[in-house]
């Protein structure tokens, strides 16, 4: 069974600076909104904590990527040099681990870096070329000099009239309804 | 103070509520909108002017010369270069080491200075990363061209094949392949991740200006970035992790390149000083190239407010420090040669001074050790012309160093009956100069299509500056 789509994505308020956005975000969070979205043209210090954002499992995934990359590369070298194509060079050990370290190290870094970037993309929902907010003309300033706070309709405590009044109390430069 | 340009007619959107108060790394009077419009405006302009076009045409001519030289190489083989036995590694390997060295400063600036929270990193990291990417790509071309049968370069990759052979895992040349491939990939990831918020800015600026094609192109590259606080939190965290990963990577790459030499038992190659000496040399030449690029860039695009004298002076200080590390490497090489009592090492060292390549060695010491001492003078560090000239001198000096390392050891090693000389041919020179042209060509395209300073980080700097923190 499909639910009918919500009539709107949420309400969007525009603020002139980062401090105003932080204050506004704190205010709506205090009113029990849990899905608050805050948009800024740069990483505002402290803002993720205010809206209750977390970084997600990027760090453990990065570690995992590194371990997998390194282990796979060492295994490949060991398999090639010991099992598949052993070469006896003056009786030296086939599993000559010091010589296998450089490639292992490099692919450890590569695996970790790739995992960090992929994890960041997936957790951030990128690529996502369309988003309802892009329908709001003024939202293009979110990548320039304006700060936006969005109360999405999916928030359990969201009620259109109340939310609008709540945002209006914060004296935004602009208050828009975002179509869903 | 220059007045920030206002390119949009929308005055409401242009009103910056907050302005930088001015500091060593950012001049006063800049706000979020004005830094955005200034840097994005460099890219989103219809006219790029005759200076860009003439530079681009000149570089294109050089790129065609390089293509011709490479084509002739593929047709005739590497005999068109001056290499032979005993000097089988000529310009190609020297150029490789030189370019990969230049490619070190970008990641060093981006990663190490980020971890050390150096504010002067912000306005120079983007183009330094581009420099790294282009230099490392060009570096990667040289060993491939030098392979003899370059079309079989993929044999370096370990893959199951019908020949039933694997790469020689115990060879530094295979380690090198892994190091360069990883370095290129991680540098590209680092650069692209850092670009995403700026690509979103360009998408929205292009849209605001009604440039549909640019909007779509930048929009696709920006992957739909919105700048949500959660996105920023993860972005920053991933970026920091990348910086932490790139830091040991930078050190490892030139270490492995140096092992190409140090593992061989040729006099002059077989030395434990090589890894740190190569890494220091890489930073030395890389920072010299950063200055060589930064000075014309800030002049051409009027970026003196962002890339200030403080940035250039700091780069000069790094050059002075790395100059001494490199000088220590030279001294250690000479000392070790005599202290070892090894007659071949000793001869190699004397031959460097007095042999047929002696004048190049003296010129190299002048460029890399003597001339950079001018950076002790405050006046020199704060004089743009001096800095530019000295950066070019160091670039030349470091190229000579790479050439000498490769050639002087090979041309007279153990057996005097097999001594010989290396004389570069015209194809050697065309390939070297063509690679420089390719670098310039790529860089010109970069400044035309991508923001050469990180806009998002500049906005952050504006805020910190206005609050008196930077």
Tens digit of each residue's pLDDT (9 = 90 or more) over B40-86 = 888 888 777 888 999 999 999 999 999 999 999 999 999 999 999 89
Mean pLDDT of chain A: 90
Q: How many residues does chain B have?
A: 470
Query: Looking at beta carbons, which residues of chain A come within 8 Å of B226?
Result: 39, 131, 133, 142
The per-residue pLDDT for range B312-350, each reduced to its tens digit, is 999 999 999 999 999 999 999 999 999 999 999 999 999
Three-class SS of residue B319?
helix
Distance from B246 to chain A by nearest Cα, in Å? 8
Distance in angstroms (rounded) separating the CA atoms of residues B87 and B418: 10
Report the C-alpha gap between A172 and B45 in whole angstroms. Answer: 33
Q: What's the confidence (pLDDT) of residue B1?
A: 36
The confidence score (pLDDT) of residue A6 equals 57
Q: Which residues contact B46 (CB under 8 A, 6 or more apart)?
A: none
For residue B270, give the H/E element and its range. Answer: none
What Cα–Cα distance (Å) separates residue B397 from each residue in A13, B104, B209, B431? Answer: 58, 17, 47, 19
* Strands laid side by side in the A37-39 sheet: A37-39, A147-152, A8-15, A174-179
Structure tokens at A38: 């805050």
In a domain, B130, yes or no: yes
Which residue range is the domain that position B227 belongs to?
64-195+206-453
Q: What would the two tokens of residue B400 be?
A: 């000579």
Please tell me the total count of domains within chain B. Answer: 1
Residue B251 has a pLDDT of: 92
**Residue B122, SS3 per DSSP:** coil
Query: What is the pLDDT averaged over residues B396-408?
Result: 95
Instruction: Considering only the beta carbons, identify the residue of B169, B223, B249 that sits closest to A81.
Output: B169
Predicted confidence band of residue A145 (pLDDT cuts 50, 70, 90): confident
Q: Is residue B58 part of a domain?
A: no
DSSP state of A147: E
Q: How many CB atoms lie within 10 A of CB B277?
A: 23
Please report which helix (H) or strand (E) contains residue B151, including its range. Answer: none
Q: Are A140 and B204 in contact (CB under 8 A)?
A: yes
Mean pLDDT over A3-17 rounds to 80
Task: Quote the pLDDT of residue B131.
Answer: 94
pLDDT higher than threshold 50 for residue A2 = yes
Task: Note the ipTM here.
Answer: 0.92
Query: Which positions in chain A touch B185 (Cβ < 8 Å)?
Result: 110, 113-114
For B25, the token pair is: 């790394």
- Are B58 and B65 in contact by the 8 Å Cβ rule? The answer is no
Where do the structural domains in chain A lie, given as residue ranges? 8-55+130-179, 58-123
What is the structure's pLDDT at A3?
A: 62
Beta strands A174-179 and A8-15 are antiparallel
Partner-chain contact B185 A113, CB within 8 Å: yes
Measured distance CA(B86)–CA(B409) in Å, rounded: 10
Which pLDDT value is given to residue A1?
Answer: 53
pTM: 0.92
CB A168 within 8 A of CB A64: no
A179 contact partners, CB below 8 Å, separation of at least 6: A8, A9, A132, A135
- Choosing among B195, B210, B226, B242, which should be mutated to test the A contact, i.e. which has the most A CBs within 10 A? B226
Residue B20, Cβ density class (10 Å: 0-12 exposed, 13-18 middle, ≥19 buried): buried
Residue with tokens 């930064």: B294
Residue of A17, B29, B411 whose CA lies nearest to A25:
A17
Residue B12: its pLDDT value, please?
A: 46
A88 interfaces chain B, CB cutoff of 8 Å: no
Residue B7 predicted with pLDDT over 50: no
CA distance A50 to chain B (A): 10
What's the rounded mean pLDDT across residues A38-66? 91
Bridge partners, A13 (sequence order): A149, A175
Which member of A53, A119, A130 has the closest CB to residue B229? A53
Choose, out of A17, A85, A112, A116, the residue to mutate when testing the contact with B (most B CBs < 10 Å).
A116
Q: CA quadruple B101, B107, B110, B113: dihedral positive or negative?
A: negative
- Across-strand partners of A107? none
Q: Say how many residues make up chain A.
A: 180
Q: With 90 as the cut, is the pLDDT of residue B108 above it?
A: no
Q: What percent of chain A has pLDDT over 90?
A: 45
Angle between helices B32-43 and B172-208 (to 10 degrees): 110
Percent of chain B with pLDDT over 90: 71
Residue B49 lies in a domain: no
Q: What distance in Å separates the CA atoms of residue B456 and residue B273, rounded to the nearest whole number?
A: 41
Nearest beta carbon to residue A120 from set B31, B164, B238: B238
Write out residues 43-62 of A within 8 Å (CB-CB) of B: 43-44, 47-48, 50-51, 53-56, 58-59, 62
Cβ-nearest to B234 among A55, A76, A143: A55
Which among B451, B388, B112 has a CA at the least distance from the CA of B250?
B112
Q: What is the CATH number for B299?
A: 1.20.1630.10
Cβ neighbourhood burial of A26 (10 Å; 0-12, 13-18, 19+) = middle
B241 to A116: CB separation less than 8 angstroms, yes or no? yes
Structure tokens at A162: 């109340």
Rounded to 10 degrees, what is the CA torsion of B380, B385, B388, B392? -100
Q: Tell me, what's the pLDDT at A4?
A: 62
Quote the distance between the C-alpha of residue B357 and its chain's center: 27
Residue numbers in B near A44 (CB within 8 A): 229, 232
pLDDT over threshold 80, residue B17: no
**Residues B136, B251: Cα–Cα separation, whole Å:** 14
Other Cβ atoms within 10 Å of B202 Cβ, number: 29
Per-residue confidence (pLDDT) for residue B469, from 0 to 100: 64
Reduce the DSSP state of residue B299 to 3 states and report it: helix
Query: Could you say which DSSP state residue A61 is in?
Result: H
Two structure tokens written together for B391: 């950066």
Query: For B23-31, what is the mean pLDDT?
Result: 84
Nearest residue in A to B187, CA atom:
A113
Q: Is position B337 within any domain?
A: yes
pLDDT on residue B116? 85
Residue A150 pLDDT more than 60?
yes
Backbone angles phi, psi at B228, to 5 degrees: -70, 150
Residue B6 confidence (pLDDT)? 40
Residues of chain B found within 8 Å of residue A99, distances taken between Cβ atoms: 169-170
Q: What is the pLDDT of residues B124-159, one digit of tens each?
A: 889 999 999 999 999 999 999 999 899 999 988 898
Q: What is the mean pLDDT of residues A83-105?
A: 92
When the pLDDT of each residue in chain B is averaged and rounded to a whole number, the result is 90
Residue B11 falls inside a structural domain: no
Is the model's pLDDT at B8 over the cut of 50?
no
* Higher local confidence (pLDDT), A80 or B22: A80
Identify all chain B residues contacting A62, using CB atoms and an 8 Å cutoff. Answer: 241, 245
- Which of B188, B189, B132, B225 shows the shortest CA–CA distance to A62? B189
Candidates A48, A82, A87, A144: best to mutate against B (most CBs of B within 10 A) is A144
pLDDT at B367: 96
DSSP conformation class of A9: E
C-alpha count within 13 angstroms, C-beta hemisphere, residue B304:
9
Is the pLDDT confidence value at B466 over 90?
no
Q: Which of A32-36, A55-59, B82-86, B320-324 has the highest mean pLDDT?
A: B320-324
- The confidence score (pLDDT) of residue B10 equals 44
Bridge partners, A152 (sequence order): A10
């Amino acid at each position: 069974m499909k639910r009918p789509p919500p009539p709107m994505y949420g309400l969007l308020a525009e603020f002139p600076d980062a401090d105003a956005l932080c204050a506004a975000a704190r205010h709506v969070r205090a009113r029990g909104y849990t899905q608050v979205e805050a948009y800024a043209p740069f990483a505002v210090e402290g803002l993720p904590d205010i809206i209750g954002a977390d970084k997600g499992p990027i760090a453990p995934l990065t570690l995992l990527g590194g371990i997998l990359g390194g282990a796979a590369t060492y295994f490949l070298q060991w398999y090639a040099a010991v099992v598949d194509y052993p070469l006896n060079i003056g009786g030296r050990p086939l599993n000559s681990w010091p010589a296998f370290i450089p490639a292992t190290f490099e692919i450890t870094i590569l695996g970790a870096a790739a995992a960090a970037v992929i994890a960041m993309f997936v957790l951030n929902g990128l690529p996502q070329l369309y988003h309802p907010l892009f329908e709001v003309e003024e939202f293009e300033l979110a990548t320039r000099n304006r700060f936006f706070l969005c109360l999405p309709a999916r928030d359990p405590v969201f009620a259109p009239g109340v939310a609008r009044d709540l945002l209006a109390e914060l004296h935004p430069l602009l208050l828009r309804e975002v179509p869903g | 103070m220059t007045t920030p340009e206002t390119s949009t007619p929308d005055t409401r959107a242009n009103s910056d509520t907050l302005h930088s108060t001015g500091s060593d790394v950012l001049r006063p009077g800049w706000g979020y909108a004005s830094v955005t419009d200034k840097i994005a405006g460099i890219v989103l302009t219809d006219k790029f002017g005759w200076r860009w076009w003439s530079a681009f045409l000149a570089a294109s001519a050089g790129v065609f010369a390089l293509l011709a030289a490479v084509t002739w190489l593929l047709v005739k083989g590497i005999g068109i270069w001056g290499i032979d036995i005993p000097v089988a590694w000529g310009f190609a390997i020297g150029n490789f080491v030189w370019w990969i060295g230049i490619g070190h400063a970008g990641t060093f600036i981006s990663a190490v200075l980020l971890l050390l929270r150096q504010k002067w990193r912000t306005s120079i990291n983007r183009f330094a990363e581009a420099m790294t990417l282009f230099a490392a790509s060009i570096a990667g071309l040289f060993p491939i061209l030098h392979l003899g049968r370059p079309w079989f370069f993929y044999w370096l990759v370990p893959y199951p094949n019908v020949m039933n052979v694997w790469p020689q895992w115990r060879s530094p040349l295979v380690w090198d392949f892994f190091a360069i491939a990883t370095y290129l990939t991680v540098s590209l990831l680092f650069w692209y991740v850092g670009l995403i918020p700026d690509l979103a800015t360009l998408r929205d600026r292009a849209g605001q200006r009604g440039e549909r094609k640019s909007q779509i192109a930048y929009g696709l590259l920006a992957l739909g970035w919105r700048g949500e606080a959660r996105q920023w939190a993860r972005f920053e965290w991933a970026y920091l992790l990348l910086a932490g990963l790139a830091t040991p990577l930078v050190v490892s790459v030139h270490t492995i390149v140096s092992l190409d030499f140090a593992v061989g038992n040729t006099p002059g190659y077989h030395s434990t000083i090589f890894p740190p000496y190569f890494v220091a040399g890489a930073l030395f030449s890389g920072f010299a190239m950063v200055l060589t690029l930064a000075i014309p860039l800030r002049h051409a695009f009027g970026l003196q407010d962002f890339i200030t004298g403080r940035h250039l002076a700091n780069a000069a200080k790094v050059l002075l420090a790395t100059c001494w590390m490199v000088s220590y490497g030279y001294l250690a090489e000479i000392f070790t040669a005599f202290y070892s009592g090894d007659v071949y090492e000793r001869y190699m060292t004397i031959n460097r001074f007095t042999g047929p390549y002696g004048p190049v060695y003296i010129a190299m010491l002048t460029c890399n050790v003597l001339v950079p001492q001018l950076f002790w003078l405050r006046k020199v560090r704060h004089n743009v012309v001096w800095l530019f000239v000295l950066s070019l001198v160091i670039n030349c000096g470091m190229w000579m160093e790479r050439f000498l390392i490769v050639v002087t050891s090979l041309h007279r090693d153990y057996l005097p009956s097999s001594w010989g000389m290396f004389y570069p041919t015209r194809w050697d020179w065309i390939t070297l100069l063509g690679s420089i042209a390719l670098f310039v060509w790529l860089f010109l395209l970069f400044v035309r299509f991508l923001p050469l300073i990180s806009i998002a980080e500049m906005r952050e700097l504006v805020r910190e500056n206005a609050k008196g923190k930077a």
